[in-house]
Amino acid sequence: MENIRIKRYGNEKTMELRDHNGLKYLVFPRIEELGFVDHLFSTRLGGVSKGYYSECNLSYTRGDEKEAVDENYRRIADALGHGRSLDDFVCTFQTHTTNIRVVTEEDRGKGPARLRDYTDIDGLITNVPGIILGSFHADCPPVYIIDPVNKAIGLVHSGWKGTVGRISGGAVAGMKECYGTDPKDCICAIGPSICGECYEIGEDVATKIREAFSEKELADGGILVPYPEGKYRLYLWNAIKMTLLTAGIKEENIIVTDICTRCNPDLLFSHRIHGENRGNLCAFLSIKP
């Protein structure tokens, strides 16, 4: 993998690129060290999709061949291990809401294997071993939430609308209610997505951000930066980190990606670069079976 060049932010290398039988994916080593969860963030590389879906598209709704997407999921399942299959995935049904679904054994397979009987779900939480939570991405951040004490997990899609609605905090609150999670115990990671230097927004979105975060949060977090011609740069990573801190997560337990989707279009799908002619990436998180 020496010839794969990744543009990174900072020198920490919070994520590492891995290979499993040709499938290329990203992981947080610190999450791996926890020992009881499996996770990854997919890349474009190592699947069987063709054309502008190439190679590892994980969306069934963008026009790709179902057989190709099924095979891509099989390769993800194989990389996650333990002999799992399409029947073990449970996926979001994203519409930029703040809705969180509590995933139970009855939900197993809702995604690639079975039709989802829910809509408007941008976050998932569970304590069921073996189920693989999945969320879809092409610039919007995924947030992994792990409670190592009560053995519970959460995964959310946090675009600007979800971030305004503090969906990550909602997932933490849901885990507290359902599983007794203490936010101070949680390890959280903000995954690959568009960086602040690439994310230019207008006054309409900036107004929503100012309404959602206090002046102190905006100042301390470096969330919104003025840009010429009435534009702004939105630092979603910082906004989500502030949300997690407000939810009671310890700062030392928040891991922030160093990889931007827009800066790495050969490795990752980016809506800002590829528009509608693209596949979707996925974040995956599960409790080891």
C-alpha 214/C-alpha 27 separation (Å) is: 33
Contacts of 48 (CB under 8 A, 6+ apart): 55, 68, 71, 72
pLDDT at residue 10 greater than cutoff 90: no
Share of residues in the chain with pLDDT > 90 (%)? 97
Instruction: Tell me what pLDDT residue 1 has.
Output: 60
The residue-averaged pLDDT of 156-167 equals 98
Q: Is residue 44 part of a domain?
A: yes
pLDDT at position 254:
98
| Residue 127 pLDDT exceeds 70 | yes
- How far, in whole angstroms, is CA 138 from its chain's centroid? 10
Residue 11, pLDDT score: 84
Q: Which domain holds residue 31?
A: 16-195+253-287
Residue 150: Cβ-neighbour burial (10 angstroms; 0-12, 13-18, 19+): middle
pTM to 2 decimal places: 0.98
Structural domain includes residue 232: no
- Could you report the per-residue pLDDT of 202-224, keeping only the tens digit for each? 999 999 999 999 999 998 999 99
Does the pLDDT of residue 195 top 80, yes or no? yes
Has residue 178 been placed in a domain?
yes
Does some domain include residue 126? yes
Residue 2: pLDDT band with limits 50, 70, 90: low
* Residue 12, pLDDT score: 87
CATH number of the domain encompassing residue 87: 3.60.140.10
Q: Evaluate whether residue 156 is within a structural domain.
A: yes
pLDDT confidence tier of residue 194, bands split at 50, 70 and 90: very high
DSSP letter at 203?
H
Q: How far apart are CA 40 and CA 25, in angstroms?
A: 6
Query: Average pLDDT for residues 53-57, to the nearest whole number?
Result: 97
- Report pLDDT digits (tens) over 131-156: 999 999 999 999 999 999 999 999 99
- pLDDT for position 111: 94
Say whether pLDDT at 101 is over 80: yes
What pLDDT sits at residue 110?
98
pLDDT-based confidence at residue 26 (cuts at 50, 70, 90): very high
Q: What is the pLDDT of residue 212?
A: 97
Percent of the chain exceeding pLDDT 70 equals 99
Q: Is residue 54 part of a domain?
A: yes
Residue 242 within any structural domain of the chain: no
The number of distinct structural domains making up the chain is 1
